[in-house]
């Protein structure tokens, strides 16, 4: 795997024709890394006034040590403590569906990446703040990334769990009015990941991080599919970086469940590398595909119903063998089968598509149509598209077939790491799973295997076969 500390601040020569620069100046994943924070901050920032953002859990996990370490070395630090909503129960009280599998549910009092939390941080800002410290996991880092991008105040990411791949990301998944949007953020000036802290993270968060990494298996397939079919830009350096990180994480899933320091370090480095890979290409393509679209669909449905949310990584992990099943069934089809489907393809009118979206998304219909309609094709263009897929099928099949993992193997990897691997773990029944496969593609314009199946008219049939 790439040496993550050597990547920080580097310019990378690449054959893809684009210049790449890792804008994060310092990346450290080591035991005792927090002890080095004062030296890192002195090198990176001209002022010594910081705002530390945490919640009560992450402050106990690392925030208190961060605060003491900085103030003992001459820094001034204010604390913005994000408050969790009061609830009568939490996900920790919900038993896992099966022994050995960590709970896939976020705590019921989890902080959300929403307008309320953003305002809380903005109110805590003082004019003399030189830098921000995001002490936490995905939500806190997303919030601080957003605030940093809008204020121009740099920040340091201090992860408390290897739970998400967004620590090095430059985008923010923001839930606004029930719709999951991806909005621009900014990169951290540094990432300080202390493995002593990470190894003590809740098992549910570690398992979610592993699920997020497993999702790269199908995300990379989707990226390569679009590259072969339509010539979408693919950076081989970013692709190889992501693939290397995934393989490293998958090499010892039981070590992750057992919290072995080397395995947890590999997981954390893989999650950071995922963000770096996204930084190199300027979007989330290396790390997010159809499996993430399924996860986003579930997030929207759970939010609409006012239900507790499973961890993002848990949803992604559960979706991955489902998407792998779609890939496997399609890759088992030869050129003649695809050609027959393309010849028989019946175009879908805009009115029918709008009605399908309305049935699937309800009050979010207008948002979804606004997001996805730019890639809708005319009826004539749909027929041409089906024929284009048939013509390119030998090249697609030859390039992808050997890279498609067996869905049962993916489930075994997830289970070995203590991660959820079936939709039943998050109370997604067969009906919702079927609905998800048919409609998740509308959440983004990105081309994936679900769009390809829809473009040749076999998505509904494949959804039925996958669910069984």
For range 315-320, the mean pLDDT: 98
Average pLDDT over all residues of the chain: 92
Number of domains comprising the chain: 2
Question: Of 281, 312, 344, which closes a domain?
Answer: 281
| 437 located within any domain | yes
The answer, as to whether pTM is greater than 0.95, is: no
Tens digit of each residue's pLDDT (9 = 90 or more) over 431-462: 999 999 999 999 999 999 999 999 999 999 99
Q: Is residue 421 a contact partner of residue 414, using CB atoms and an 8 Å limit?
A: yes
Closest-CA residue to 79 (of 112, 111, 56):
56
Q: What is the pLDDT of residue 96?
A: 45
| 92 located within any domain | no
Please say if the pLDDT value at position 91 is more than 70.
no
Identify whether residues 313 and 181 lie together within a single domain: no
| 99 located within any domain | no
Identify whether residues 360 and 269 lie together within a single domain: no
**Burial class of 121 by CB neighbour count within 10 A (0 to 12, 13 to 18, 19+):** buried
Closest-CA residue to 135 (of 167, 106, 107, 103):
167
Q: Which two tokens stand for residue 132?
A: 């921000």
Closest-CA residue to 105 (of 362, 392, 326, 298):
298
- Longest CA–CA span in the chain (Å) reads 72
| 148 located within any domain | yes
Identify whether residues 247 and 333 lie together within a single domain: no
For range 397-417, the mean pLDDT: 97
Note down the domain range covering 277.
4-83+114-201+234-281
Please say if the pLDDT value at position 95 is more than 60.
no
Identify whether residues 254 and 375 lie together within a single domain: no
Identify whether residues 187 and 269 lie together within a single domain: yes
Identify whether residues 396 and 445 lie together within a single domain: yes
The CATH number linked to 166 is: 3.40.50.1970
Q: What is the pLDDT of residue 1?
A: 56
| 174 located within any domain | yes
Identify whether residues 267 and 387 lie together within a single domain: no
pLDDT band at 8 (very low <50, low <70, confident <90, very high): confident
Question: Of 249, 281, 313, which closes a domain?
Answer: 281
């Amino acid at each position: 795997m790439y040496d993550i500390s050597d990547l920080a601040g580097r310019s990378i020569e690449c054959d893809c024709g684009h210049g790449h620069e890792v804008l994060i100046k310092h990346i450290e994943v080591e035991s005792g890394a927090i002890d080095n924070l004062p030296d890192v901050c002195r090198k990176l920032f001209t002022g010594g006034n910081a705002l530390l953002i945490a919640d009560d859990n992450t402050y106990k996990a690392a925030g208190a040590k961060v605060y003491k370490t900085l103030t003992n070395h001459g820094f001034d630090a204010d604390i913005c403590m994000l408050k969790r909503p009061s609830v009568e129960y939490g996900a920790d009280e919900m038993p896992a569906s099966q022994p050995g599998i960590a709970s896939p549910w976020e705590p019921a009092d989890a902080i959300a990446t929403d307008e309320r939390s953003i305002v809380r941080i903005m109110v805590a800002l003082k004019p003399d703040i030189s830098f921000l410290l995001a002490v936490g996991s995905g939500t806190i880092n997303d919030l601080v990334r957003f605030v940093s991008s809008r204020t121009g105040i740099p920040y340091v990411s201090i992860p408390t769990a290897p739970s998400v791949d967004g620590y090095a990301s430059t985008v923010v998944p923001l839930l606004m009015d029930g719709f999951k949007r991806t909005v621009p953020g900014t990169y951290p000036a540094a990432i300080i990941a202390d493995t002593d802290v990470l190894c003590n993270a809740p098992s549910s968060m570690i398992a979610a991080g592993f699920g997020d990494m497993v999702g790269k298996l199908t995300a990379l397939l989707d990226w390569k599919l679009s590259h072969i079919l339509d010539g979408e830009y693919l950076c081989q350096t970013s692709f190889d970086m992501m693939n290397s990180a995934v393989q490293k994480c998958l090499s010892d899933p039981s070590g992750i469940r057992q919290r072995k320091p080397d395995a947890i370090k590999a997981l954390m480095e893989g999650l950071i590398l995922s963000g770096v890979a996204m930084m190199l290409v300027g979007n989330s393509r290396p790390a997010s595909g159809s499996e993430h679209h399924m996860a986003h669909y579930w997030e929207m449905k759970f939010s609409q119903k006012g239900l507790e949310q499973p961890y993002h990584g848990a949803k992604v992990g559960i979706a991955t063998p489902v998407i792998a099943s779609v890939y496997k069934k399609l890759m088992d089809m030869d050129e003649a089968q695809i050609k027959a489907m393309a010849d028989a393809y019946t175009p879908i009118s805009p009115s029918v598509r709008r009605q399908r979206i309305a049935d699937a998304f309800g009050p979010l219909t207008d948002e979804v149509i606004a997001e996805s309609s730019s890639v809708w094709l005319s009826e004539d263009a749909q027929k041409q598209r089906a024929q284009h897929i048939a013509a390119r099928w030998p090249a697609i099949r030859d390039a992808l077939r050997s890279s498609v993992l067996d869905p049962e193997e993916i489930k075994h990897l997830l289970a070995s790491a203590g991660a959820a691997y079936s939709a039943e773990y998050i109370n997604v029944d067969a009906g919702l799973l079927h609905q998800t496969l048919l409609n998740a593609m509308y959440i983004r314009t990105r081309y994936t295997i679900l769009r390809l199946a829809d473009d040749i008219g076999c998505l509904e049939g494949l959804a039925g076969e996958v669910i069984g």
